[in-house]
Structure formats: C-alpha cells, structure tokens
Amino acid sequence: MKSAHTALAAIRELLGPEGTSDDPDVLAPRLREWRDRFHGATALLIRPATTGELSQVMRLCHEHRIGVVPQGGNTGLCGGAIPDASGSQVLISLERMQRILEVDAVGGTITAEAGCVLSRLQQAARDAGAQFALSLAAQGSAQIGGCIATNAGGTNVLRYGTARQQVLGLEVVLPDGRILDALRGLRKDTAGYDVKQWFIGAEGTLGIITKACCRLHPLPQASRTVMAAVRSPASALHLLAGLRGMLGESLSSFELLPRHGLELVLNWRKDARDPFDQPYPWYVLLEGDGRAAEDDALETALARVSAEGMVEAAVVAGSIAQAQALWQLRDELSAAQKHAGPSIKHDVAVPLAALDTFIARGTALAERLVPGSTVLAFGHVGDGNVHFNIGCPPGMNADTFLASWEVVAREVHDLVVAFGGTASAEHGIGQLKVTELARLRGGVELELMHGLKAMLDPHGIMNPGKVLAR
C-alpha cells in the first residue's frame, strides 16, 4: 500500500492539478455504467495530456503493480470501463487528448488522438468533403479510442464494417510504458504480423490506444431514408435480399424493430410520431446512398418488392428533418426500454439465414424462463446482429427479475451458439461476459488469448477482471 501511495504521489506531481482528481463529484459519474449494473471505486482519476505523460504513468503503475482501468466516454454496456469496488485501481481518461491531428482528403485518412469524440471526427471529415463511416447512437460522447478498443459496430456496419475495418494505424502505450508506434496510414503493408490488430477489440486489457489513423470514404452526394412495415423478421430478410439484388452494396443501414419497441419510444418521447396510420408487427429502417439515392432508385426498388408482397407499407423521408425523426425512433429504443423498466439484455449475432428462427425460438425460451416477460428483439439485422432484450413481467420485483440474469443469459447464449452465432456481437465482453467467454470460447482460441495477455501484461495490471478471467 505504501508503494502505491508513493506512485500515486509521483503521478500527481508529474501531471499537476489538471491531470489528476480524487474529487467525489468528478469521480461519481465515471464509477457507474450506463445501465447502472456495475459500480466501482478508484484511488485516482488520471488525465494525461500527451502520450509521453501516459507512458510515464504506465511505467509507475507497472513498477508498483497498480491496476489500470482505461475509460473513454463511458458509453459501454458491459462494465468494461468500470473499476472494481476495492478502490485500489486507477482510472485513466484521455479526455485531454482530443486533437484531430490530420485530415488527408487525398489519401483518404483522418488521424486523431484517442480522446476525440466520434461526432467531431465525423464533422471534420465532412468539412473535408469526406465521410468517416463509424456511426452509433452514443457518437456525441463516445471517444474514438474506446470505439476502437471495443471494436464498436453501429448502424453503418452493413456497408462499411466495424471499427476494425476503419483503422489503418495505431499508437498504443503498453502496460510497461513502452510506446508502440504503428500510426501508419498505409492501405498495404505486409511487413510481418499486423500488431495493431491485437489492440482492436481488446477493451484496454493489452494496452491503451492513444492515437488512431482511420479510413475516410467518399461523402455521399445524396441519401434516402425509408421506414418499411413488414410481417416478420423473415420478411425483413427477404426484403434485404431483394433490395441488395437490385441496388448492390449501396445500402448502408438496415435496422429491424418490432411494434413493441416502437410503442416504447412513442410512449416515452411525447414529441415522437408514428410514421404509419395503422400498426404493423415489424418495421425496417433502411438507408441508402450512392446508387440507392440516385434517380429514385430506392423508391423504384421498394415499389417492385412491395408488388411481390415483401412490404406492407413504406414511408420515405422527404427531408433531413423527416429522416432524423425516423432515426430517432430507432436510436431511442434502448433509452425508452430503460425508462419502461429493467430488462435482461443480450447483444448477439447469428447467421442471417437463422435470424427469424432464432428470434422465434428465443422468444419461446424467454417465456419459459420468465413467464409473462416481453421480448424486444431489434438491431442491425443486415449484419446478423440482434439485441435480444427480455423485459421484466408486470408486477414482478425488479431485483428478483435481475437476479436471474446469468441463468437466462446462459440459455440464450447456448441457443445462439447452436445456430452458429456469437454471444457478443458489438458490445464486447467487459465484466458482464467474462465467464461466458471462457465457457463458449475455450480450447486453443482461449489459450492464445491468455498467452498474448501474459506476454504483454505479465503483472495483470491492464483492466483487471475484464475479457479474461483472472
């Protein structure tokens, strides 16, 4: 303990009053995650202003065996950025490292420090006549370092891929303070192992990302946003196949939501409006650009699939404001469900061909495990990712309901794996799924993960208890 106090005192002296804090009011919002499922404590909040400062901090933490928990915008949903309750771990925020370092419109890259908020990157790209494709509901507070560390997905994965596909180069501070300089904007580089990939999706358990060089894409000259009513998830998938057959890869988003979810948002947000004059069981929110937005191509394609019975009704946004109103219905789903009461949440993915059957069998499983519960299945189904959330039955005690989380999650995950899917599609492992990762991804795959962790972080100071069991 004395050694830790000495190290923390040295860190305070190194960074000055702007670089550290133990003020309870400053710490409080950083010690609980958005779902309020995980809470922690910390000895100190550390806010370096440069990679060099962070390197010195990590050297001290490595030497004195102090646990380090990196935290971006604290928008994660699996407790991956929350320290444990011991108070012995330090919390590291890169919020002071938020500069956009370069926008290269010719080379199609943008380079920024890890604390830069995602929406700022998007705006900087637009100002240069380009597009930074990573887009998610929390983009106003999520930081690019955290997005990369969790391999964030979002609504544009269908066309552009996850955060991993956006990254060309990284700078990373390792657990012992060494700096990995792989901040290259090259599209081709076959010089040995692609070391930067180790840190994408590692949730800060192998090192702390400090800078990133990411891809830019051409800025769409036009886009179309449509909400279509369909009979079932199977109808939605037929619609997806039909549209892609006519429009190619120009669909950037394809989101599924049930009537139950739409009603949650309508009941919570009094300014929200139902786009249709009658209810339908399922809806698809889709967006197309490029070819899909040219000469009413998307509307023409929708008319054709509607004639084939794939679509019950459709609303085409006629303005940016109307498109934003449609997207609000999708983006507010999680907040609306949180407002309505507790739920047991699953972030899973299955092969597209199995999606409809999984939702049907998963709903029956939920009813058996928690009688009276209501399933909210929604998400980025164009890439197979569905958020399968089970709501608390009316009249049931919330604590009793949530106490069944592990039992319910285990059976849902077993069903997902039986379909050839994954128990973590885009939210990561964090604290929430450590046991499930060990159970579902054993053998050589898990051995390699532990081996990499032992090599880079022999003292186990990096985000202890996250991703891999101690």
Residues 237 and 284 in one domain: yes
Cα–Cα distance between 400 and 206 in angstroms, integer? 36
Model confidence at 382, in pLDDT bands (50, 70, 90)?
confident
Residues 76 and 111 in one domain: no
Question: In this structure, which amino acid lies at residue 272?
Answer: A
Residue 458 included in any domain: no
Residues 194 and 291 in one domain: no
User: Please, what's the b/e burial string for 358-381 (b: 16 or more CB within 10 A of its CB; e: otherwise)?
Assistant: bbeebbebbeeebeebbbbbbbbb
pLDDT of residue 233: 95
Cα–Cα distance between 185 and 387 in angstroms, integer? 34
Strands 109-113 and 167-173: unpaired
pLDDT of residue 308: 80
Residue 464 included in any domain: no
Residues 274 and 376 in one domain: no
Residues 147 and 124 in one domain: yes
Q: Which of 127-141, 371-385, 454-468 reaches the highest mean pLDDT?
A: 454-468
Residues 89 and 108 in one domain: no
Residue 435 included in any domain: yes
Task: Give percent above pLDDT 70 in the chain.
Answer: 98
pLDDT of residue 180: 98
pLDDT of 18-53, one tens digit each? 999 999 999 999 999 988 889 999 999 999 999 999
Mean pLDDT of the chain: 93
Residue 355 included in any domain: yes
C-alpha dist (Å) from residue 179 to 183, 254, 376, 452: 11, 39, 44, 17
pLDDT of residue 246: 86
pLDDT of 400-426, one tens digit each? 999 999 999 999 999 999 999 999 999
pLDDT of residue 291: 63
Name residue 218's beta-bridge partners.
130
Residues 111 and 214 in one domain: yes
Q: Is 331 within 8 Å of 396 (Cβ atoms)?
A: no
Residue 455 included in any domain: no
pLDDT of 94-135, one tens digit each? 999 999 999 999 999 999 999 999 999 999 999 999 999 998
User: Where a domain ends, among 334, 364, 391?
Assistant: 334
Task: Specify the CATH number for the domain of residue 129.
Answer: 3.30.465.10
Residue 53 included in any domain: yes
Q: Is 460 within 8 Å of 470 (Cβ atoms)?
A: yes
Residues 15 and 61 in one domain: yes
pLDDT of residue 162: 93
pLDDT of 187-214, one tens digit each? 999 999 999 999 999 999 999 999 999 9
* 277 alpha-carbon distance from chain centroid: 33
Alpha helical stretches, state H, 248-354? 259-268, 297-307, 320-331, 333-340
The DSSP annotation for 201-248 comes to TSTTSS-EEEEEEEE-EEPPS-EEEEEEEESSHHHHHHHHHHHHHHHT
Task: Specify the CATH number for the domain of residue 88.
Answer: 3.30.43.10
- Round to the nearest angstrom and report the end-to-end CA distance of the chain: 21
Taking each helix axis from N to C terminus, what angle separates 233-247 and 297-307, rounded to the nearest 10 degrees?
Answer: 130
Task: Specify the CATH number for the domain of residue 413.
Answer: 3.30.70.2740
pLDDT of 208-231, one tens digit each? 999 999 999 998 877 889 999 999
pLDDT of residue 36: 84
Extract the runs of DSSP E, i.e. beta strands, from 100-230: 100-104, 109-113, 130-131, 167-173, 179-182, 208-215, 217-218, 223-230
pLDDT of residue 252: 87
pLDDT of residue 195: 97
Strand, coil or helix: 253: strand
Whether 366 has a pLDDT exceeding 90, the answer reads yes
| Domain span holding position 182 | 100-218
pLDDT of residue 294: 66
Mean pLDDT of 242-256: 88
Residues 210 and 229 in one domain: no
User: Where a domain ends, among 77, 93, 109?
Assistant: 93
Instruction: Note if the pTM is more than 0.75.
Output: yes
Residues 263 and 325 in one domain: yes
* 350 alpha-carbon distance from chain centroid: 17
Residue 285 included in any domain: yes
Number of domains in the chain: 4
Residue 448 included in any domain: no
Task: Specify the CATH number for the domain of residue 304.
Answer: 3.30.70.2190
pLDDT of residue 251: 87
pLDDT of residue 1: 55
Cα–Cα distance between 230 and 226 in angstroms, integer? 13
Residues 280 and 368 in one domain: no
User: Where a domain ends, among 334, 361, 392?
Assistant: 334
pLDDT of residue 296: 75
Whether 359 has a pLDDT exceeding 70, the answer reads yes
Whether 364 has a pLDDT exceeding 80, the answer reads yes
Model confidence at 295, in pLDDT bands (50, 70, 90)?
low
pLDDT of residue 154: 85
Residues 116 and 202 in one domain: yes
Extract the runs of DSSP E, i.e. beta strands, from 379-430: 385-391
